[in-house]
Amino acid sequence: MNNKVLISVVGPTAIGKTAMGIHIANFFNTEIISADSRQFFKEMSIGTAVPSAEELAAAKHHFIQHISIEDQYSVGDFEKQAMTKINKLFQDHDILVMVGGSGLYVKSITEGLDDFPEIKPEIRQNLNELFEKEGLQKLQDKLKNLDPAYFSKADIENPHRVIRALEICLGTGKTFSSFLNQKKNTRNFNIIEIGLTADRQIIYDRINLRVDLMMQAGLLEEASQLYSKKHLNALNTVGYKELFSYLDHEIDLDFAVSEIKKNTRRFAKRQLTWFRKNQKIHWFDYKTKPEKVNQFISEEIKTLK
- Does 189 share its domain with 273? yes
| Per-residue pLDDT at 1 | 60
Range of the domain at 35: 5-113+184-304
pLDDT for 184 beyond 80: no
State whether the Cα torsion 242-248-250-255 is positive or negative. positive
pLDDT band at 113 (very low <50, low <70, confident <90, very high): confident
The CATH number of whichever domain residue 26 belongs to comes to 3.40.50.300
Using the 3D structure, point to which of 179, 194, 219 is the last residue of a domain.
Answer: 179
pLDDT band at 2 (very low <50, low <70, confident <90, very high): confident
Using the 3D structure, point to which of 179, 211, 227 is the last residue of a domain.
Answer: 179
Known binding-site positions for substrate: 13-18
| Per-residue pLDDT at 160 | 82
pLDDT for 90 beyond 90: yes
- Does 133 share its domain with 170? yes
Arithmetic mean of pLDDT over the chain: 94
- Does 86 share its domain with 150? no
pTM, 2 dp: 0.84
- Does 125 share its domain with 197? no
- Does 202 share its domain with 168? no
| Per-residue pLDDT at 166 | 96
Flag the least confident range among 213-217, 229-233, 256-260.
Answer: 229-233
The CATH number of whichever domain residue 131 belongs to comes to 1.10.20.140
- Does 174 share its domain with 27? no
Known binding-site positions: 11-18
pLDDT band at 154 (very low <50, low <70, confident <90, very high): confident
pLDDT band at 114 (very low <50, low <70, confident <90, very high): confident
| pLDDT digits 0-9 by tens, 195-227 | 999 999 999 999 999 999 999 999 999 999 999
Known binding-site positions for ATP: 11-18
- Does 49 share its domain with 140? no
| pLDDT digits 0-9 by tens, 40-79 | 999 999 999 999 999 999 999 999 999 999 998 989 899 9
- Does 169 share its domain with 241? no
- Phi, psi for residue 282 in degrees, rounded to 5: -95, 115
Query: What is the arithmetic mean of pLDDT over 248-274?
Result: 97
- Does 191 share its domain with 207? yes
How many percent of the chain have pLDDT more than 70?
98
Number of independent structural domains in the chain: 2
